[in-house]
Amino acid sequence: MSRKPARIRTGLPAWILSLPLVWMLLFLVAPFAIAAKISLSRSALAQPPYEPSFDWSAGVADWMERATQFSFDAYAGLFADTIYLDAYLSSLRIAALSTLCALLIAYPFALSIAHAKGVLRPVLFVLAVAPFWTSFLIRVYAWIGILKDEGLLNHALIWLGLIEEPLQIFATDIAIVIGIVYSYLPFMILPIYVALEKQDAALLEAAADLGASPWRAFVQVTLPLSLPGVLAGCLLVFIPAVGEFVIPDLLGGSDTLMVGRTMWVEFFDNRDWPAASAAAILLLLVLLVPLRIYDRLQTAEERT
């Protein structure tokens, strides 16, 4: 029977219900509008270090007049120098590689947790996502001591006699990938585990009953049913990884190009706010497609 609520009777008055909306418009929507606006400003060394292309306090007529002063210099600047283009491409490449590695580690891991019996299963699951709750910064920091040229990994490998000269991992893209995979692994495990855990055990029994080998049952039943979880996990890793700052900054080398770091440098060191804003807006545009997929996935999840 269709039962739509006829009158919406909520426990809270409308003005309270609209508070989050107002807050969101103010602090989650308006900032992007302003970033877009500043990306269209001319760079200047004043404080704040940009020369506004228009001023809200000056009224609409003025706004219209000054609108012609919009400058695409900042965007032009992004493409004048290949350093930004390289940074975007390098970020996408590193994020994609990290996402793939995280998936390859997380899937069998999540599958193994989902196979555990009784009380062991939730315990393993909590242990698998627990590192997420500890400081991100600290977890990245932990890898510096391991990956450095004179770090624990090289010590161990030399002591084992596997290598004679220390490996150069620290300050390379490999170190960044390791850092991203390590830091974002819980985000990959969580949705995959949820997708696997809710699968009915009878499905695999039915597949076996109908003659499928365990491997075929996995490929034809378990895997397809877990794909939404896999997709969600990949997006949860990929999107933030593209704009990652801390990991390339701490584990990467001075020549590491990732757009999050480039933006940071542009902003804090070069104090070129329009350039940093333009880079941020462009990054947002680049991420719009995966964000849209992620949003649709969330909405689909909500419906079930």
Residue linked to tokens 């034809």: 220
Residue 234 CB, shortest distance to another protein, in Å, is 11
Quickly count: other Cβ atoms within 10 Å of residue 223's Cβ.
14
Instruction: List C-alpha distances in Å: 178 to 88, 172, 197.
Output: 19, 10, 27
Q: List binders of another protein among 45-84 (CB under 8 A).
A: 48
Q: List binders of another protein among 149-168 (CB under 8 A).
A: 150-152, 155
Residue 76 CB, shortest distance to another protein, in Å, is 20
**How many residues form the binding site for another protein (CB under 8 A)?**
103
Q: Exactly one of 28, 60, 61, 289 binds another protein (CB under 8 A); which one?
A: 28
Contact flag: residue 235 with another protein (CB under 8 A)? yes
Contact flag: residue 108 with another protein (CB under 8 A)? yes
Q: CA geometry: angle at 268 spanning 26 and 97, to 5°?
A: 85
- Of 65-73, 78-86, 157-165, 264-272, the segment contacting another protein by CB under 8 A is 264-272
Residue 260: exposure state from Cβ atoms within 10 A (0-12, 13-18, ≥19): buried
Q: List binders of another protein among 109-128 (CB under 8 A).
A: 109, 111-118, 121, 124, 126-128
Contact flag: residue 136 with another protein (CB under 8 A)? yes
Instruction: List C-alpha distances in Å: 216 to 40, 108, 139, 194.
Output: 56, 16, 38, 22
Residue 185 CB, shortest distance to another protein, in Å, is 7
Q: List binders of another protein among 274-303 (CB under 8 A).
A: 276-277, 280, 283-284, 287, 291, 294-295, 298-299, 302
Q: Exactly one of 62, 69, 79, 145 binds another protein (CB under 8 A); which one?
A: 145
- Of 9-17, 67-75, 82-90, 159-167, the segment contacting another protein by CB under 8 A is 9-17
Q: Which is nearer to another protein, 93 or 139 (CB)?
A: 139
Residue 13 is which amino acid?
P
Rounded-to-10 torsion of CA 49, 51, 55, 58? 120
Strand partners, 42: 51
Residue 216 CB, shortest distance to another protein, in Å, is 14
Residue 34 is which amino acid?
I
- Of 63-71, 73-81, 82-90, 199-207, the segment contacting another protein by CB under 8 A is 199-207
Q: Exactly one of 3, 46, 164, 269 binds another protein (CB under 8 A); which one?
A: 3
Contact flag: residue 260 with another protein (CB under 8 A)? yes
- Of 58-66, 69-77, 82-90, 239-247, the segment contacting another protein by CB under 8 A is 239-247
Contact flag: residue 12 with another protein (CB under 8 A)? yes
Q: CA geometry: angle at 260 spanning 255 and 265, to 5°?
A: 65
On whether the CB atoms of residues 138 and 250 are closer than 8 A, the answer is no
* Percent helix / strand / coil, the chain, rounded to 5: 75, 0, 25
Residue 162 is which amino acid?
L
Residue 3 CB, shortest distance to another protein, in Å, is 8
Q: Which two tokens stand for residue 69?
A: 């002063």
Q: Exactly one of 31, 67, 81, 216 binds another protein (CB under 8 A); which one?
A: 31
On whether the CB atoms of residues 145 and 156 are closer than 8 A, the answer is no
Rounded-to-10 torsion of CA 185, 188, 189, 191? 150
